[in-house]
Structure 1
Amino acid sequence: MNASSLAASGATARTVGDDAYSVVHLDTRDADDHASCLQHWNQRYDQLSAGSFSGRFDEFWFGNVQVFRERTNQVIHEIGMSWEGSRTIGVPVAVDGAGWYCGEPCTLDSVITLKGGDELDYRTARSHDIVAVTTDSQAFIDYALHVEHRDIEAEIGKQRIIATTSEQAATLRGFLLTVLASLEATPELLRHPQMRKGLEQAIYGSLIAAIAPREDTPRAATPCRTRQLIVDRAREYMRSHIDEPITVADLCTELEVSRRTLQYSFQDILNLNPVSFLRALRLNGVRRELKKAEPASHQIADIAARWGFWHLSHFAADYKAMFGELPSDTLRQETRSHPVPLIV
């Protein structure tokens, strides 16, 4: 059932987007209609507790990623499956009591997963609120292998509830809620491919961190000359792509090293982690664009998105910390120094 048919059946809907992304917001009053909210899923919801049903659904889909949050106020039995070739990972935001997910109890700190083609069997708690990501499984596997050097499918195995800690579950929950809040505020920024790329990689990194064991893997001994070579090659790659928003994943793929090895190499040689180094380069890229901007012709948010900054308040804080002024101050100064000539 699409958004228009849902609206006809008693739900209210708002959908926006284009070929690059889609956004769906739905308020529902029937469990069976709510089951149809998730695009490309095949589901059936049966209401088990007595009372009027009320549901809320929010979804953002871009690139390989489908991020969604759904809230229901009755005990629901959910059955069905996700789209073929997908992997879903989610964590509850709030629950009233315990649910039952694929034969296991599901609580607030349960990180659940479902592979495309596997059967969903979920009895929710009476009041249920969950945030989740469904993504192309191969894209997720490739990212984990090339960036983290981990066989993520082997690690997940046949788990339906991933072994994790309450801290890891809380971190994932907070991150995904931040992503949804940011996209809700500025969904149009998803039209920028750099924004979609950076956000997809950030989501993958967060999902993998939730799957990781709590204990840190002992640091491997890497010769100093090797660490220096890694940093030199990374800086050479950065110089040849100075006008592009390079990510840590780009460097890991190009250099064929793991994120951990890259981290140790930068820390030892430059006393700076690669995330901070790349953030500084991207902030400088934004500053250069702001300084070249014609008066009133550029939006700061668009420039930031083109450089891969998806969280605008964090971007503004990082920019001020780096340059001692807000991006709007830079734009105002530059436009004042290049006044528009009067035509008489």
Structure 2
Amino acid sequence: MSTDAQDSRRAPYAYTLRDTLDADEHAACLTNWQQRYDQLSAGVFAGVFEEFCFGKVQLFREGLNQSVHQAGEAWRGSRTFAVPVMIEGTGWFGGEVYDAHSMLTLGSDDELDFRTPRRLEIVACTADAVALDAYAQQVDHRNIETELAGRKMAPATPERLAALGQLLATMMSSLRATPELLVHPQMRKAMEQALFATLLDTLSSGSVQATAPSCSARQLVVARARAYMEAHIDEPITVADLCIELGVSRRTLQYSFQDVLDLNPVKFLRAIRLNAVRRALKAPPPNGRSTVADVAARWGFWHLSHFSAEYKTMFGELPSDTLRRAG
């Protein structure tokens, strides 16, 4: 089965879901990659492939029931990360053995040399390397491409690897249910930044010890952050937006908000956005009709079930109740 929700040349996103019965057919699924798959184990081939492309990100899932050797290369200027979610035994990637606890990475200048075990399912993301590195520089003051130079296996603890795999699976599950919400630029931005932030957390060795800013510096960071938020009250501001605007790292922002407001910046911004959604649900829609999903997407909430739970916890009712009462 194949579903192309949008033409990627015209639309802000593309979605593909396909069952494959041939290794060559499967190899051709991944957008903008140059690949060749050679089936190594005997038997009828059966695969599943799913892909979402939006902004500077490509999310994909592939499952195989036969051992194959994959050769080729990713699209120019990209960086790929892959996590096995189901694997029988071990495989071979760029000269190294991988298993269920491995995080694979591939730069655009790296040659793909990937041998799978007989059964494998992976979730993966390919991102624009410049965009990812710019994000890392601006919010964590890190150079990801330098950290990963020459690596085939990215450093990650089992807990952080599991968290990344869970995020990728959750993102794909949410998009599978409502891919059309990717028409909203705020939705695409929120998902891209959530992915980048989780990748940085996954790759962090935990060895970097940041010095907490002084009390006066923390107060200044929070004051400047609140001034920026007030000036952009109608926009779904993110932690990365604040880091870039203020020229501080995520850690500095964390220290400052926790000390001054007794709340981390993620929760603070989420509360601000939840209130914005509530006001939008209570207001007459500009086009005469509105849905909870569309309003939530416009404010960067990409996981609708989590959003509904957070909304009810904050306001004591579901967002659908607010919208129905306003109507």
Query: Does the alignment pair 1:256 with 2:247?
Result: yes
User: 1:87–1:115: 8 Å Cα contact kept in structure 2?
Assistant: yes
**Of 184-193 and 284-293, the range deviating more from structure 2:** 284-293
The superposition leaves residues 155-180 of structure 1 with CA deviations (integer Å, 9 ceiling, x where unpaired) of 11211111222112111111100010
User: 2:32–2:74: 8 Å Cα contact kept in structure 1?
Assistant: yes
Distance in 2 between the 1:89 and 1:123 partners?
16
The superposition leaves residues 16-60 of structure 1 with CA deviations (integer Å, 9 ceiling, x where unpaired) of 125100001111000111100000000000000000000000000
Distance in 2 between the 1:221 and 1:263 partners?
10
Supply the AA of the counterpart residue of 2:209: P
Question: Which of these residues, 212, 218, 233, is aligned with residue 227 of structure 1?
Answer: 218
Distance in 1 between the 2:33 and 2:289 partners?
42
Residue identity over aligned pairs, in percent, reads: 56
User: 1:293–1:331: 8 Å Cα contact kept in structure 2?
Assistant: no
* Unmatched runs of 5 consecutive residues or more in structure 2: none
User: 1:83–1:117: 8 Å Cα contact kept in structure 2?
Assistant: no
Query: Does the alignment pair 1:268 with 2:255?
Result: no
Supply the AA of the counterpart residue of 1:221: A
Report the counterpart of residue 247 of structure 1 in structure 2.
238
The superposition leaves residues 196-252 of structure 1 with CA deviations (integer Å, 9 ceiling, x where unpaired) of 000000001111111111x36334131111000000000000000001100000000
Distance in 1 between the 2:22 and 2:144 partners?
37
Query: Does the alignment pair 1:34 with 2:23?
Result: no
Supply the AA of the counterpart residue of 1:13: S
Distance in 1 between the 2:212 and 2:32 partners?
46
Query: Does the alignment pair 1:53 with 2:45?
Result: yes
**Of 43-52 and 168-177, the range deviating more from structure 2:** 168-177
Secondary structure of 2:3's counterpart equals strand
What is the correspondence of 1:310-321 to structure 2 with a 5 Å cutoff? 310-321=302-313
Report the counterpart of residue 341 of structure 1 in structure 2.
none
The superposition leaves residues 70-125 of structure 1 with CA deviations (integer Å, 9 ceiling, x where unpaired) of 00000000000001100001111110110011110010111000001210001101
The superposition leaves residues 135-172 of structure 1 with CA deviations (integer Å, 9 ceiling, x where unpaired) of 11100000000011111111112111112221121111
Distance in 2 between the 1:228 and 1:112 partners?
41
Which has the higher Rg, Structure 1 or Structure 2? 1
**Distance apart, 1:297 and its partner CA:** 1.2
What is the correspondence of 1:83-98 to structure 2 with a 5 Å cutoff? 83-98=75-90
Distance in 2 between the 1:263 and 1:55 partners?
44
Query: Does the alignment pair 1:16 with 2:5?
Result: yes
Report the counterpart of residue 118 of structure 2 in structure 1.
126
**Distance apart, 1:332 and its partner CA:** 1.5
Report the counterpart of residue 62 of structure 2 in structure 1.
70
Supply the AA of the counterpart residue of 1:81: E
Question: Which of these residues, 257, 264, 273, is aligned with residue 282 of structure 1?
Answer: 273
Distance in 1 between the 2:13 and 2:201 partners?
26
**Of 13-22 and 253-262, the range deviating more from structure 2:** 13-22
Question: Which of these residues, 99, 102, 108, is aligned with residue 116 of structure 1?
Answer: 108
Report the counterpart of residue 145 of structure 2 in structure 1.
153
Report the counterpart of residue 174 of structure 1 in structure 2.
166
Distance in 2 between the 1:92 and 1:162 partners?
13
User: 2:102–2:153: 8 Å Cα contact kept in structure 1?
Assistant: yes
Secondary structure of 2:2's counterpart equals strand
Distance in 1 between the 2:239 and 2:96 partners?
37
**Distance apart, 1:285 and its partner CA:** 0.7
Question: Which of these residues, 290, 307, 332, is aligned with residue 299 of structure 2?
Answer: 307
TM-score calculated relative to the size of structure 2: 0.97
Supply the AA of the counterpart residue of 1:288: R
* Unmatched runs of 5 consecutive residues or more in structure 1: 1-11, 336-344
Distance in 2 between the 1:178 and 1:200 partners?
14
Distance in 1 between the 2:252 and 2:212 partners?
10
